[in-house]
Amino acid sequence: MDKKRATKNLDSLITKVEAARLRVSEHHIVKIIGISKYSTIDDIKTLYEAGQRAFGENKVQDLKIKSEALEEFPIEWHFVGTLQKNKINNLIDLNPTLVHSLDSLELAEELNKKLSIKNKKMSCLLQINSAYEDTKSGVDPKDALDIYKKIIKFYPNIILKGIMSIGANTENRETIKKSFLVTKKIFDDVKILGGIYCSMGMSNDFDLAIECGSNMIRVGSTLFK
Ligand SMILES: *Cc1c(COP(=O)(O)O)cnc(C)c1O
């Protein structure tokens, strides 16, 4: 990807995000995370030079390789993938800005244990399976608020900053919208507990996600095409 292409992709995304957020309110601010999991270090650097500052990976090993290779740049690194227990220590050592994929109470317990041994804290989002799909990680929407409260109460090394969800895997916009609205409702509940981010929306559905209240979108393919 050359600089011209990166600028065009980013400008085009920002224009669409801008239109969607203004349909909500001029005060509704949306943060864009560039998901670089299928992209090279050079492509990330090119997009960085075009102005993108936050990137996300879904594998701990890739996050390590890419973040270390681009260490000289003030990039914010996010982790969005399923976190395996045996990779927790590696992830902690990488100091990610935000982990979007805390997907069970059990994982929270394990993560908290390892964080406290290292005397560190980590900002996380609770992942919610709002589409009720077996293939997706995340807590059941009906348990989400309870689990959110438990993490705050029992796992002090985890700083919960909100929730994350992946939209329903379908072309049907109404079905996707329904899953986003389930997430948004939970977001409204966790706001009084200090939740500030509702991470939902990807390349194919970020506009809909923003209209449903998302303030953080994770965009990969349309940014790196
Ligand atoms: C890959 C990925 C994305 C980005 O998906 P695109 O459709 O390429 O925009 C967002 N969130 C998560 C969790 C992902 O794994």
Residue pLDDT, tens place only, 98-133: 999 999 999 999 999 999 999 999 999 999 999 988
> In angstroms, rounded to a whole number, what is the distance separating the alpha carbons of residues 135 and 122?
26
Ligand 1: does its nearest atom lie under 6 Å from the Cβ of 169?
no
| Ligand 1 center from residue 35 Cα (angstroms) | 6
Give residue 93's pLDDT. 98
Whether ligand 1 lies within 6 angstroms of the CB of 59 is answered as no
pLDDT band at 135 (very low <50, low <70, confident <90, very high): confident
Q: Provide the pLDDT for residue 125.
A: 98
Look at the pTM and tell me if it is higher than 0.85. yes
Torsion sign across C-alpha atoms 132, 136, 141, 146: positive
Dihedral angle, C-alpha 35, 172, 143, 138, nearest 10 °: -30
Is 24 a pocket residue for ligand 1 (Cβ < 6 Å)? no
